[in-house]
Amino acid sequence: MKPLIIAALGLAAIATAPPVQAQGAAAFDGTWGGTGRLTQNRGTGTACGPETMDRRFTIQGGRIAFPYDPRTGIDFNGPIGADGRFEIVNGPNRFSGQATGSTMTATFSGRVCERQFQFRRRAGAG
C-alpha cells in the first residue's frame, strides 16, 4: 500500500510543477542591448544602412520582442529556448542566435543584408 501512495504523491508533484522549458527560458528575461556589424551587403548603395548599428530589445516570459527596423516594419517576436537558442523568421528575414547568461551572439539575415550582433543584458534586468 505504501508504494502506491508514494507513487501517487510523485505523480501529483509532476502534474503540478511548471514546465521546465518555460522556467529555463525565462532566465533570459530582461532588456538586452548591443551592436551589429554589417557582414554582407548583397544590395546596392546604402540599402543595408550603416556599417554598425546599436539595437535594444526585450525578452519577457521566455519570448523575444525585437523591433529590428521599425522604419521598414522588420520586427521579430518569438520564443527563446531554455538552452538560450532561438530562431525567429519574419518573411524573408531571420534572427537567430544563442544566449549564455548575460551575453548573446546573434545573426540577422535578410534579402540583401546580414549582420552579426553582440548583445549584453542590461544591469538590473532578469
Provide the residue ranges of all domains of the chain, joining segments of one domain with +. Answer: 20-121
Domain 20-121 sits in CATH at 2.40.128
**Which pTM value belongs to this model?**
0.77
Strands laid side by side in the 30-41 sheet: 74-79, 63-69, 52-60, 30-41, 113-121, 103-109, 93-100, 85-90
As averages over each run of 10 residues, the pLDDT of the chain (126 residues) reads: 48 44 77 97 84 96 95 93 97 97 96 96 68
